[in-house]
Amino acid sequence: MKTCALALAAGALTAVGCGGSSTATTTALLPIVVERPSPDEHVSPTFQVSGTASVFEATLVVQTVRDGRTVERKTVTASEGAPARGTFHVTMHATPGQLVVRAFSPSAKDGSAQHEVKVHVVVTP
């Protein structure tokens, strides 16, 4: 009889002793995962940012930055808050050029960025 154990801690899922393997298999999800746009993707001036998040009170910030300056900033609510994982989707706008999409969870203590993810994109006309 095979025994298969799963351990879930801090967003990481570990399967131990499954499938005839004696080594553990680990798949970790970061608290915020931006699925769209992809890194270095060419996007239109109006584009969608979407992904999943497991963050406090389902609140995250999606921001676009160019040359160190904020172009646009939106507070977004995921479909579920931590410890569950919810989806998020937001429409952003920018003029053509290089751009960084930044997603993070604001700290409940002081609003500072936690679990920050950056995706570099190119806005095309």
The CATH code of domain 31-123 reads 2.60.40.10
d(CA 103, CA 114): 9
| Residue spans in the chain of domains classed CATH 2.60.40.10 | 31-123
Phi, psi of 58 (to 5 degrees): 60, 20
d(CA 7, CA 86): 20
Q: In the predicted model, what is the mean pLDDT of the chain? A: 85
**So what's the pLDDT on residue 101?**
98
**So what's the pLDDT on residue 73?**
98
* Predicted structure pTM score: 0.77
pLDDT tens digit sequence for 29-75: 899 999 999 999 999 999 999 999 999 999 999 999 999 999 999 99
